[in-house]
């Protein structure tokens, strides 16, 4: 909890009572402003925020109840404690109903006042902290903060922005490490459910029997070890978004239960027949070809179409090379210092690499490079061997400022893939998605008819 001084307004039309309470709170290090009426308190709150208001109930113009109601509308994060000389249960209930944090009676008990005031200030600190954390999360996962400026990623942004405004189920497709969860969080943050929870679950990392209980909850005694009832993740995500990552890994039994939950908007915890209504938006993701899984009988067709209302395909990093340096600089700033930089030679290597681990691998490589080189300047020697393989063509030395042509970058990349395939040109051409003749042209060699 933050330390004093806190700004506290003491409001009472009795000068003696007002002075006593102000003296008690000032002695604890608080900055106290003493006021004679609720009208004056509202004017003071308009001049600047207060951390707490302690107000008498009965006053001439604006009493404590009216002040509490006005504060609940205008400054709901500021707690108010109501004070009266006529303490009774009815008065306490009415004070809480009007929005008061707590209710204390005259004559003052100094120790009791200290306890109630500390609790009220602690609540305000938590409210402000939670608000700041929510703002940070919203800022972090806004769509405009998903890094990438390639045409393929612009299509991802546009589709995500459109679908965020709806309640449609979304299926995100892409290889591991492409940032599927980041896009799912961005959709949630841009949606009307942003104030609700975002609950991610990795379906591929949890055994099916355990996953069923995790998703739907269970009753006490439903299975060995279930010593108490437990809410499932569907209920935890109520009012928000449930992100089902690697949805293609769930088995047929669980697929049927998931389909029912999506269709009916209700679940049945394990060990009970009582349905529980849930208000959840589902965003699913997979690196598998679900259409092929349906064809092979490994994934329910009805569930596939229920999930596949809107599809977002995130391209692998190798198919959007114009984003590599943008992402690398983003990660350098994230893991290093504002002045972190990447030399031209290191940039060439990053652009030429195939990135089988996609964006996740790139972030790890940049973080590793900065950890190895505390100067903040990433040079080729800071990169893993896989990115600068033996036999790869030389790169310009750091500081020369040389910029390779597109043809040179293409040649270097083709040479690297060729080195990775052990010099087998046929396999290298297949990996590159071109024919052998084109590969020889890129490398500047003649086709001798051999691998």
Question: What CATH number does the domain containing 38 carry?
Answer: 3.40.50.2300
Determine the straight-line distance between the first and last CA of the chain, rounded to whole angstroms.
69
Domain final residue, candidates 82, 113, 137: 137
Residue 230 in domain? yes
Residues 279 and 223 in one domain: yes
Backbone angles phi, psi at 203, to 5 degrees: -65, -30
Longest dimension (CA), the chain: 104
Quickly count: other Cβ atoms within 10 Å of residue 356's Cβ.
13
Residue 233 in domain? yes
Domain final residue, candidates 103, 137, 171: 137
Backbone angles phi, psi at 266, to 5 degrees: -145, 155
By CB atoms closer than 10 A (0-12, 13-18, 19+), residue 285 is buried
Q: Two tokens at 75?
A: 């400054």
Residues 172 and 118 in one domain: no
Alpha carbon 219 to chain centroid, angstroms: 30
Q: Residues of 387-414 as b/e, b for ≥16 C-beta within 10 angstroms?
A: bbeeebeebeebeeeeebeeeeeebbbb
Domain final residue, candidates 87, 110, 137: 137
Return the pLDDT at 233. Answer: 92
Tell me the C-alpha distance between 370 and 363, whole Å.
11
Tell me the C-alpha distance between 305 and 387, whole Å.
40
Return the pLDDT at 268. Answer: 87
Residues 323 and 306 in one domain: no
Return the pLDDT at 404. Answer: 57
Return the pLDDT at 247. Answer: 95
Q: Residues of 40-74 as b/e, b for ≥16 C-beta within 10 angstroms?
A: bbbebbeeeebbbbbbbbebeebbbbbbbebbeee
Beta strands 266-267 and 276-277, pairing class: antiparallel
Q: Two tokens at 138?
A: 């919203």
DSSP string of 112-124?
A: HHHHHHHHHHHHH
Name the region of 324 (left: φ>0; alpha: ψ -120 to 50; beta: rest): alpha
Residues 267 and 358 in one domain: no
Residue 426 in domain? no
Residues 126 and 23 in one domain: yes
What DSSP character marks residue 199?
A: E
Residue 172 in domain? yes
Residue 215 in domain? yes
Residue 281 in domain? yes
Return the pLDDT at 447. Answer: 59
What tens-digit pLDDT sequence spans the chain (451 residues)?
Answer: 445 678 999 999 989 889 999 999 998 889 999 999 999 999 999 988 899 999 988 888 898 889 988 998 888 888 999 887 665 556 566 777 777 888 887 787 888 888 889 888 888 887 777 666 555 544 444 444 556 778 888 888 888 888 988 889 999 999 999 989 989 998 998 889 988 999 999 998 888 778 988 899 888 776 776 677 788 899 999 999 999 999 999 988 899 999 999 999 998 888 888 888 999 999 999 999 999 999 999 999 999 999 999 999 999 999 988 888 888 888 888 776 666 778 888 888 999 999 999 999 999 999 988 888 766 778 888 899 889 865 444 444 444 444 556 666 677 777 777 766 667 788 777 777 787 788 777 877 665 554 4
By CB atoms closer than 10 A (0-12, 13-18, 19+), residue 424 is middle
Tell me if residue 229 falls in helix, strand or coil. Answer: coil
What DSSP character marks residue 85?
A: S
Residues 214 and 89 in one domain: no
CA distances from 241 to 167, 184, 204, 376 (A): 10, 9, 19, 38
Return the pLDDT at 92. Answer: 60
Residues 285 and 334 in one domain: no
Confirm if 307 and 282 have CB atoms less than 8 A apart: yes
Instruction: Identify the helix (H) or strand (E) that includes residue 276.
Output: strand 276-277
Return the pLDDT at 139. Answer: 47
Return the pLDDT at 89. Answer: 54
DSSP string of 289-331?
A: -HHHHHHTTSS-HHHHHHHTTEEEEPPPGGG-GGGHHHHHHHH
Rg (CA), the chain: 31
Residues 279 and 400 in one domain: no
What's 406's domain CATH number?
1.10.8.60
Residues 262 and 345 in one domain: no
Residues 250 and 291 in one domain: yes
Return the pLDDT at 440. Answer: 77
Contacts of 362 by beta carbon, 8 Å cutoff, 6+ apart: 317, 324, 327, 328, 331, 350, 355
Residue 50 in domain? yes
Backbone angles phi, psi at 443, to 5 degrees: -80, -10
Q: Two tokens at 196?
A: 């609700």
Tell me if residue 210 falls in helix, strand or coil. Answer: helix
Return the pLDDT at 141. Answer: 43
Total count of domains within the chain: 3
What is the span of the domain harbouring residue 277? 146-315
Return the pLDDT at 147. Answer: 61
Residue 442 in domain? no
Tell me the C-alpha distance between 197 and 215, whole Å.
15
Backbone angles phi, psi at 339, to 5 degrees: -90, 5
CA count, 13 A, side-chain hemisphere, 412: 23
Instruction: Identify the helix (H) or strand (E) that includes residue 40.
Output: helix 38-47
Return the pLDDT at 389. Answer: 66
Quote the pTM value.
0.56
What's 188's domain CATH number?
3.40.50.300
Residue in the structure block whose two tokens are 């995790």: 214
Return the pLDDT at 138. Answer: 47
Contacts of 149 by beta carbon, 8 Å cutoff, 6+ apart: 322, 323, 326
Residues 124 and 151 in one domain: no
Residues 16 and 117 in one domain: yes
Contacts of 62 by beta carbon, 8 Å cutoff, 6+ apart: 37, 38, 39, 41, 42, 70
């Amino acid at each position: 909890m933050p330390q004093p001084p806190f700004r506290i307004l003491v409001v009472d039309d009795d000068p003696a009572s007002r002075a006593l309470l102000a003296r008690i709170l000032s002695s604890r290090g608080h900055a106290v402003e003493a006021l004679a009426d609720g009208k004056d308190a509202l004017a003071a709150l308009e001049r600047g925020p207060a951390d707490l208001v302690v107000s008498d109930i009965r006053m001439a113009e604006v009493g404590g109840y009216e002040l509490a109601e006005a504060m609940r509308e205008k400054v709901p994060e500021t707690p108010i404690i109501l004070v009266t000389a006529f303490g009774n249960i009815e008065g306490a209930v009415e004070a809480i109903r009007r929005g008061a944090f707590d209710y204390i009676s005259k004559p003052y008990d100094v120790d009791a006042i200290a306890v109630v005031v500390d609790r009220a200030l602690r609540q305000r600190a938590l409210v402000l902290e939670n608000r700041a954390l929510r703002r940070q999360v919203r800022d972090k996962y806004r769509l405009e903060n998903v890094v990438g400026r390639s045409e393929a990623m612009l299509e991802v942004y546009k589709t995500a922005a459109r679908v965020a405004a709806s309640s449609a189920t979304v299926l995100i497709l892409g290889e591991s490490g492409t940032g599927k969860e980041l896009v799912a969080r961005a959709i949630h943050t841009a949606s009307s459910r942003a104030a609700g929870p975002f609950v991610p679950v990795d379906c591929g990392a949890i055994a099916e029997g355990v996953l069923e209980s995790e998703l739907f909850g269970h009753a006490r005694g439903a299975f060995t070890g279930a010593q108490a009832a437990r809410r499932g993740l569907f209920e935890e995500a109520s009012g928000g978004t449930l992100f089902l990552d690697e949805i293609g890994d769930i088995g047929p039994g669980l697929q049927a239960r998931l389909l029912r939950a999506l269709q009916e908007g209700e679940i049945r915890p394990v060990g009970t027949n009582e349905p529980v209504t849930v208000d959840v938006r589902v965003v699913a993701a997979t690196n598998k070809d679900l259409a092929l899984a349906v064809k092979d009988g490994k994934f329910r067709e009805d569930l596939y179409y229920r999930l596949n209302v809107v599809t977002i395909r995130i391209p692998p990093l190798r198919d959007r090379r114009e984003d590599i340096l943008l992402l690398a600089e983003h990660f350098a700033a994230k893991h290093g210092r504002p002045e972190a930089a990447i030399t031209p030679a290191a940039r060439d290597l990053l652009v030429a690499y195939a990135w089988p681990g996609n964006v996740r691998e790139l972030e790890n490589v940049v973080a590793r490079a900065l950890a190895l080189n505390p100067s903040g300047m990433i040079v080729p020697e800071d990169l893993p061997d896989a990115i600068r393989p033996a036999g790869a063509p030389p790169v310009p030395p750091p500081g020369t400022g040389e910029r390779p042509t597109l043809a040179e970058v293409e040649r270097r990349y083709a040479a690297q893939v060729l080195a990775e395939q052990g010099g087998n040109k046929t396999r290298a051409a297949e990996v590159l998605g071109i024919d052998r003749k084109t590969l020889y042209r890129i490398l500047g060699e003649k086709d001798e008819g051999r691998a």
